[in-house]
Amino acid sequence: MKKETVAIHGGYDTDPTTKAVAVPIYQTVAYEFDSADHGAALFNLEVAGNRYSRISNPTVAVLERRIAALEGGAEALCVASGQAALNYAVLNVVAMGTNIVSVPQLYGTTYTLFAHLLPSQGVNVHFGESDQPDAIEKLIDEGTRAVFCESVGNPAGNICDVEALAVVAARHGIPLIVDNTVATPILLRPIDYGADIVVHSLTKFMGGHGTTLGGAIVDSGRFPWRENARRFPMFSEPDLSYHGLTYTEHFGDVAYIARCRSVYQRTTGAVLSPLSAFLLLQGIETVALRVERHVENARRVAEFLAHDPRVEWVNYTGFADNPYHTLACKYLGGKACSLLTFGVAGGLEGAKSFYDALKMFKRLVNMGDAKSLACHPASTTHRQMSAQEQAKAGVRPEMIRLSVGIEHIDDILADLDQALGAARAQRSALLAAE
Ligand SMILES: Cc1ncc(COP(=O)(O)O)c(C=O)c1O
The string of pLDDT tens digits covering residues 102-131 is 999 999 899 999 999 999 999 999 999 999
Q: What is the pLDDT of residue 13?
A: 65
CA 201 to ligand 1 center in whole angstroms? 5
Q: How far apart are CA 155 and CA 157, in angstroms?
A: 6
Closest CA to 193 of 220, 163, 159: 163
Cα of 82 from ligand 1 centre, angstroms: 5
Ligand 1 atom index nearest CA of 213: 10
Burial class (CB in 10 A: 0-12, 13-18, 19+), 434: exposed
Cross-sheet strand order for the sheet of 124-127: 75-79, 215-219, 197-201, 176-179, 144-150, 99-102, 124-127
Does 21 have pLDDT greater than 90? no
**For the packed helices 287-306 and 409-433, what is the interaxial angle rounded to 10 degrees?**
40
pTM: 0.94
Q: Ligand 1 pocket test: which of 67, 105, 106, 107 has the largest number of ligand atoms within 8 Å of its C-beta?
A: 107
Quick one: which of 201, 108, 198 has its CA closest to 162?
198
Residue 47 carries which DSSP code? Answer: S
Omega of the bond leading into 274 within 30 degrees of 0 (cis): no
Q: Is the CB of 390 under 6 A from ligand 1?
A: no
Asked whether the predicted pLDDT for residue 9 surpasses 50, the reply is no
d(C-alpha 367, C-alpha 150), whole Å: 15
Higher pLDDT, 387 or 41: 41
- Angle among Cα 312, 318, 323 to the nearest 5 degrees reads 70
Is pLDDT of 2 > 70? no
Q: Is 83 in the pocket of ligand 1 (CB under 6 A)?
A: yes
**What's the pLDDT band for 12 if we cut at 50, 70, 90?**
low
Confidence class of residue 7 from pLDDT cuts 50, 70 and 90? very low
Going from the Cα of 238 to the center of ligand 1, the distance in angstroms, rounded, reads 34
SS3 (DSSP) at 215: strand
**Residue 111 Cβ contacting ligand 1 at under 6 Å:** no
* Pocket of ligand 1 contains residue 159 by CB under 6 Å: no
CA of 83 to the centre of ligand 1 (A): 6
78, 81, 197, 201: residue to mutate for ligand 1 pocket, most atoms within 8 A of CB: 201
Give the chain's mean pLDDT: 94
d(CA 31, CA 46): 16
Count CB-CB contacts under 10 A for residue 379: 13
CB 35 within 8 A of CB 41: no
- 368 CA to centre of ligand 1 in angstroms: 10
Alpha-carbon gap, residue 224 to 58, rounded angstroms = 29
d(CA 263, CA 217) in angstroms, rounded, equals: 14
- What are the residue ranges of CATH 3.40.640.10 in the chain? 23-283
pLDDT for residue 419 is more than 70: yes
Most confident segment among 16-20, 237-241, 309-313: 309-313
Closest by Cα among 112, 87, 126 to 390: 112
- Distance between first and last Cα of the chain: 59
Residues across the chain:
434
pLDDT at 156 over 90: no
Arithmetic mean of pLDDT, 214-240: 97
Question: Is residue 429 classed as helix, strand or coil in its secondary structure?
Answer: helix
Fill in the amino acid letter for 54: R
The CATH class that applies to domain 286-433 reads alpha beta
Ligand 1 close to Cβ of residue 213 (< 6 A): yes
- The CATH architecture one would assign to domain 23-283 is 3-Layer(aba) Sandwich (3.40)
Residues of the chain with CATH 3.90.1150.10: 286-433
Instruction: Indicate if the pLDDT at residue 4 is higher than 70.
Output: no
Instruction: Let me know: does 287 contact 11? Beta carbons within 8 Å.
Output: no
- On the question of pLDDT at 5 being above 50, the answer is no
Query: How many whole angstroms from 207 Cα to the centroid of ligand 1?
Result: 12
Could you tell me the pLDDT band of residue 338, with boundaries at 50, 70 and 90? very high
